[in-house]
Amino acid sequence: MNETLPAFQDILAARTRTAGKLRHTPLLRSAVLDRAVGGTVLLKAEPLQHTGSFKLRGAMNAVLSLVEAGHAGGVVAFSSGNHAQATAYAAAAAGRAATIFMPADAPAIKTRATKSWGATVVPFDRVRDDREALASAEATRTGAALVPPYDDARIIVGQGTCGLEIAEDAAAMGLRPDALLVPVSGGGLVAGCALAMEAEAPGCAIWAVEPDGRDDMRRSLISGERETNGHGGSVLCDGLLSPNQGELTFAINRPRLAGGLVVTDEAVLRAMAFAFLHLKLVVEPSGAVGLAALLSGIFDGRDRVTAVVLSGGNVDPETFQRALALA
């Protein structure tokens, strides 16, 4: 690994760079949820971010960093959906063209939203094709800059602004989180949050949360090596299907995370229904895994302050109906 590990000061710089471009999403508390868990729960509502997920934080920081560096060309990205939308939005805001490689089976709501920002969407087969190779070849051919979904310092520190807001807003409430539960795929969000919380809320235990059969982070933390997911496992959480952790993200996460938690599809769907019925929030499956861990008892939130990142709200109506059917 040749890239220098980012630091907390880089997160502060990302916040300054993206000021006015991102929404400071609320940190919510619910009496119903506190009673259900037996503790204090703080929910970071990233479904209310522009484009409906935390991914805009990293993409916006990356694109604006390219502009600062004098890059005048377009951008290329590969994503199952939320990073695609975020990169398309950020590129449009900066007046840059965007080409996004998306799985052919990505949720239609995410594909439509990506196109709505003027991006060119190129479909690929998530099992057969190497998405990074496709995107890299396109960037080389056109002179565009590659904006990866997670294993990039600019992305990580952009995502770290989420953790920074959690720590600061909790402190403003007179609270200090004992634990933070973060959805994990490639590890960029949890890496950025870990750096932010390490500086602003030391002692907070950071937990990675993954869907059943896609727990490469949990296994990687145990083995000390970057483990890989096979083709099995849950596909409900379409935003958490990266085959393994990034090299850079794992270097940050390995010494900082308390461990990994795994949730079932049913727990995720029930958490989505709970968020809608009691919190009035629409949360996508990938964004609900942390809440699922808490509500299902996989993580014990009794008598402690637990912060949870609800990472996105871009869900197809059919999937959302499945969740509501369990209410």
Please indicate, yes or no, if residue 2 is contained in any of the structural domains. no
What is the CA 157 to chain-centroid distance, rounded?
Answer: 12
Give the per-residue pLDDT at 3: 65
Please indicate, yes or no, if residue 94 is contained in any of the structural domains. yes
In the structure encoding, which two tokens stand for residue 191, read together? Answer: 């890496």
Number of domains composing the chain: 2
The answer to whether residues 226 and 290 belong to one domain is: yes
CB-based burial, 39-56: b 16+ in 10 Å, e otherwise: bbbbbbbbbbbbbbbbbb
Q: Please, are residues 64 and 45 in contact by the beta-carbon 8 Å criterion? A: no
What is the CA 46 to chain-centroid distance, rounded?
Answer: 9
Give the C-alpha separation, 222 to 217, whole Å. Answer: 9
The answer to whether residues 35 and 61 belong to one domain is: no
Give the C-alpha separation, 39 to 266, whole Å. Answer: 23
The answer to whether residues 128 and 163 belong to one domain is: no
In the structure encoding, which two tokens stand for residue 50, read together? Answer: 């522009």
Give the per-residue pLDDT at 110: 86
Whole-Å CA distances, 199 to 60, 213, 215: 23, 32, 27
In the structure encoding, which two tokens stand for residue 149, read together? Answer: 């979904």
Residue 51: name the closest of 10, 92, 96, 102 by CA.
Answer: 92
Residue 182: name the closest of 171, 201, 166, 203 by CA.
Answer: 166
The answer to whether residues 116 and 256 belong to one domain is: no
The answer to whether residues 255 and 129 belong to one domain is: no
Q: Please, are residues 176 and 87 in contact by the beta-carbon 8 Å criterion? A: no
Please indicate, yes or no, if residue 1 is contained in any of the structural domains. no
The answer to whether residues 70 and 139 belong to one domain is: yes
Tens of pLDDT, residue by residue over 164-215, are 999 999 999 999 999 999 999 999 999 999 999 999 999 999 999 999 999 9
Q: Which of 116, 146, 176 is the last residue of a domain?
A: 146
Give the HSE-up count for residue 234: Cα atoms under 13 Å, Cβ half-sphere. 24
Task: State which residues of the chain have pLDDT below 50.
Answer: none
The answer to whether residues 268 and 196 belong to one domain is: yes
Give the C-alpha separation, 316 to 286, whole Å. Answer: 12
The answer to whether residues 170 and 274 belong to one domain is: yes
Q: Which of 91, 121, 146 is the last residue of a domain?
A: 146
Domain that holds residue 315: 8-54+152-324
Q: Please, are residues 22 and 50 in contact by the beta-carbon 8 Å criterion? A: yes
Whole-Å CA distances, 117 to 112, 163, 255: 9, 27, 38
Number of residues in the chain: 327
In the structure encoding, which two tokens stand for residue 174, read together? Answer: 């007179």
Q: Please, are residues 26 and 166 in contact by the beta-carbon 8 Å criterion? A: no
Tell me if residue 24 falls in helix, strand or coil: coil
Please indicate, yes or no, if residue 3 is contained in any of the structural domains. no
Q: Please, are residues 208 and 253 in contact by the beta-carbon 8 Å criterion? A: yes
Give the per-residue pLDDT at 80: 79
Q: Which of 114, 130, 146 is the last residue of a domain?
A: 146
Rounded to a whole number of angstroms, the CA Rg of the chain reads: 18
Q: Where are the alpha helices (DSSP H) in 121-276?
A: 131-142, 153-172, 188-200, 216-223, 247-253, 265-274
Residue 236: name the closest of 168, 160, 287, 172 by CA.
Answer: 287
